[in-house]
Chain A
């Protein structure tokens, strides 16, 4: 369905021209996505997970064509994204759900116009009456009432607004949906409603999802496959069960370890230190090496490539060289990487 091949994306974060000339500064670039490749098969859910600044949101925008990649190509159903964007019949099949339910709906538009916009843009309804009926069907489909179309976004709660966003995304009759942190602004009980709704709709409509989140539990619930990102690179990608039961990249292990665990109240731990480096000036070699307990001189020099190990692809010299201990420490209470 979607094929991302060696995609790199840089943002120009230089200061304005006059400042640069006066201060004698060069242009500055931030590599938000660094040589990333993956595929998404029809009907599956791939999640990208990582902490802030790892490039997952940039990748989401690249995938729907909001940005053009600096390098590499993205193909949707075999066609390059730029040609997909030029053909309404194909473009229609790609849509997106955003994180913030408060800024993703135009406050001055009625809900029926918000949901009706894709229908109008792609000419999916014969006339106004048909469009209206379609909007009402969509509203019912996401668990709202048909009359809600007459209201304005501010009359709804965050969860209801996210339902409206979903209805708008479905209005173009997409095959592929990019969901950028769709529940991270919501309370857990509302999150559960939205996640259930998305799973239901996915099954019913046969959607393919690219799901972006920082929340591992949400990702676990939603995904067939998971890609873990760190500083613009995918460090580990594979089937969801593999990633959670047999995490091998030290960063994946750190993430899982850092996760507060509901089932173990008051568990003692001694978490791994360090913080995410500045992405404008990333570390040499493997970007994770300054925090990695298994780092050796090679890691500081050479960027590890994403290689297939069993069912998952991992970018780690330690895994490649077989230096990685097999499992997390059996006692999960201890199970940090540093202990290994």
Chain B
């Protein structure tokens, strides 16, 4: 059952240098209980996509086209107050920096209880019991004692777990996690990944996982969407995209990642850099946005913009697929 459906999403940011289009026609679906990974390099539009869905676009950005359907209803045009309710109750969020999400003036217990009581019909004591359970589940040792601690008393990895508890305690149907493990050490990262996956499986929570780390995606996601310069260039089952990438960009990207398993003399490299739709440095190329860096470029790529179409198990935006 499709929980979230994004259709031809366009985000524009007016600046004095002109109108930038950091997201240009993005479409994807997330099923209930599915983990969709969104990967891409910085500036590709991954985080903005998440922000657009949750109505948290930074000023003066705005949704200029397309729509977002959540559980069958349009949410991109909801008034701010209703969006806020939806965000706490049915859509949870985790950001890269846990400190921006936690209020330093309240204990984590107070924050959990308050979040639950805002969204769920619970008594104070019931909410507190549940808060303790959540801390326990996300792997905070001695949750009984730590529930009355303030955010600064936790280590970075623990704080991120508290944030996950906070995002999940209202039992949302969709979790949007933006680089949830990037600031963490590998051993802690492994824990958080395992936790996210377990929770998605147990509760049927759909997860939109935004990250630049292919390894994390490979390990946890069911499907993956690869973004480049504000567009999705390839989307499909994680095995297909990672093992048999079809789009030349995805293919190149996989080759650039050094592997622990074997040592190569040289890494494959994609020359040049991604055009930034919001800068003046590189204007967006006409046709396929990747064509100036593409090893397989031909005339049509320079003129016409490819749309996503079926190629094997995936959807790919490339004239060769």
Q: Touch between A and B in complex, CB under 8 Å?
A: yes
- Bound: A263/B243 CA distance, A: 8
Q: Which of B185, B186, B263, B269 makes the CB contact (< 8 A) with A240?
A: B263
Beta-carbon nearest neighbor of A241 in chain B: B263
- Bound: A218/B260 CA distance, A: 8
Return chain B residues, CB-CB under 8 Å to A160.
Answer: 273
Chain B residues 259-296 with CB under 8 Å of chain A are 259-261, 263-271, 273, 281
C-beta contact mask, B194-205 vs A, less than 8 Å → 1, else 0? 100000000000
Q: A265-B242, A269-B194 are in contact. Are A188 and B215 (CB under 8 A)?
A: no
- The reply to whether B190 and A195 contact each other, CB–CB distance below 8 Å, is no
- Bound: A273/B188 CA distance, A: 8
- The reply to whether A269 and B186 contact each other, CB–CB distance below 8 Å, is no
Q: Which of B157, B269, B281 makes the CB contact (< 8 A) with A196?
A: B269
C-beta contact mask, A262-292 vs B, less than 8 Å → 1, else 0? 1111110111111110000000000000000
- The reply to whether B263 and A275 contact each other, CB–CB distance below 8 Å, is no
- Bound: A160/B272 CA distance, A: 10
- The reply to whether B216 and A187 contact each other, CB–CB distance below 8 Å, is no
A-binding segment of B67-75, B85-93, B250-258: B250-258
Chain A residues 10-62 with CB under 8 Å of chain B are 51-52
Q: A159-B273, A192-B267 are in contact. Are A214 and B185 (CB under 8 A)?
A: yes
Return chain B residues, CB-CB under 8 Å to A272.
Answer: 187
Beta-carbon nearest neighbor of B265 in chain A: A199
Whether a CB of chain A sits under 8 angstroms from the CB of B158 is yes
Whether a CB of chain B sits under 8 angstroms from the CB of A67 is no
Closest beta carbon of chain B to A110's beta carbon, Å: 18
- The reply to whether B189 and A221 contact each other, CB–CB distance below 8 Å, is no
Beta-carbon nearest neighbor of A256 in chain B: B260
- Bound: A257/B187 CA distance, A: 9
- The reply to whether B212 and A188 contact each other, CB–CB distance below 8 Å, is yes
- The reply to whether B238 and A220 contact each other, CB–CB distance below 8 Å, is no
- The reply to whether A261 and B258 contact each other, CB–CB distance below 8 Å, is no
Closest beta carbon of chain B to A284's beta carbon, Å: 20
Chain A residues 239-263 with CB under 8 Å of chain B are 240-241, 244, 254-263
Q: A51-B186, A189-B270, A259-B260 are in contact. Are A271 and B194 (CB under 8 A)?
A: yes
Return chain A residues, CB-CB under 8 Å to B41.
Answer: 187-190
Q: Sort chain A's interface into a size bin.
A: 35 or more
Beta-carbon nearest neighbor of B181 in chain A: A260
Q: A220-B260, A220-B263, A265-B238 are in contact. Are A275 and B42 (CB under 8 A)?
A: no
Looking at B139, B216, B219, B222, which has the most chain A CB atoms within 10 Å of its CB?
B219
Return chain A residues, CB-CB under 8 Å to B257.
Answer: 188, 192, 217, 262
- Bound: A233/B257 CA distance, A: 29
Return chain B residues, CB-CB under 8 Å to A324.
Answer: none
- The reply to whether A265 and B256 contact each other, CB–CB distance below 8 Å, is no
Q: Which of B191, B252, B259 makes the CB contact (< 8 A) with A273?
A: B191
- The reply to whether A218 and B191 contact each other, CB–CB distance below 8 Å, is no
Return chain B residues, CB-CB under 8 Å to A254.
Answer: 187
Whether a CB of chain A sits under 8 angstroms from the CB of B304 is no
Q: Which of A155, A189, A256 makes the CB contact (< 8 A) with B269?
A: A189
Whether a CB of chain B sits under 8 angstroms from the CB of A202 is no
Closest beta carbon of chain A to B211's beta carbon, Å: 10
Whether a CB of chain B sits under 8 angstroms from the CB of A296 is no
Whether a CB of chain B sits under 8 angstroms from the CB of A68 is no
- The reply to whether B158 and A265 contact each other, CB–CB distance below 8 Å, is no
- The reply to whether A189 and B256 contact each other, CB–CB distance below 8 Å, is yes
- Bound: A265/B219 CA distance, A: 5
Chain B residues 156-192 with CB under 8 Å of chain A are 157-158, 185-191
Whether a CB of chain A sits under 8 angstroms from the CB of B103 is no
Return chain A residues, CB-CB under 8 Å to B193.
Answer: 260
- The reply to whether B261 and A263 contact each other, CB–CB distance below 8 Å, is yes
Q: A258-B187, A259-B186 are in contact. Are A266 and B269 (CB under 8 A)?
A: no
Return chain A residues, CB-CB under 8 Å to B51.
Answer: none
Closest beta carbon of chain A to B25's beta carbon, Å: 22
Whether a CB of chain A sits under 8 angstroms from the CB of B148 is no
- Bound: A275/B157 CA distance, A: 8
- The reply to whether B190 and A258 contact each other, CB–CB distance below 8 Å, is yes
Whether a CB of chain A sits under 8 angstroms from the CB of B239 is yes
Return chain A residues, CB-CB under 8 Å to B263.
Answer: 220-221, 240-241
Return chain B residues, CB-CB under 8 Å to A159.
Answer: 273
Return chain A residues, CB-CB under 8 Å to B273.
Answer: 157, 159-160, 189-190
Closest beta carbon of chain B to A37's beta carbon, Å: 25
- The reply to whether A276 and B256 contact each other, CB–CB distance below 8 Å, is no
Q: Which of A193, A214, A241, A265 makes the CB contact (< 8 A) with B186?
A: A214
Beta-carbon nearest neighbor of A187 in chain B: B41
Return chain B residues, CB-CB under 8 Å to A270.
Answer: 194
- The reply to whether B187 and A255 contact each other, CB–CB distance below 8 Å, is yes
Looking at A52, A188, A217, which has the most chain B CB atoms within 10 Å of its CB?
A188
Q: A261-B215, A265-B218 are in contact. Are A271 and B187 (CB under 8 A)?
A: yes
Closest 3 pairs between A and B when the two form their complex, measured CB to CB:
A260-B215, A192-B256, A51-B185
- Which residues of chain B have a CB within 8 Å of any CB of chain A? 41-42, 139, 155, 157-158, 185-191, 193-194, 212-216, 218-220, 222, 238-239, 242-243, 252-261, 263-271, 273, 281
Selected A-B contacts with CB under 8 Å, 18 pairs: A51-B186, A52-B185, A157-B273, A187-B42, A189-B256, A192-B255, A196-B266, A217-B258, A220-B259, A260-B218, A261-B215, A263-B218, A264-B219, A265-B242, A266-B238, A271-B190, A275-B158, A275-B187
Knowing that A260-B219, A273-B191 are A-B contacts, what are 10 other residue pairs whose CB atoms are under 8 Å apart, sorted by A's residue number? Answer: A51-B187, A157-B281, A189-B269, A221-B258, A221-B263, A240-B263, A257-B190, A260-B218, A262-B214, A273-B139
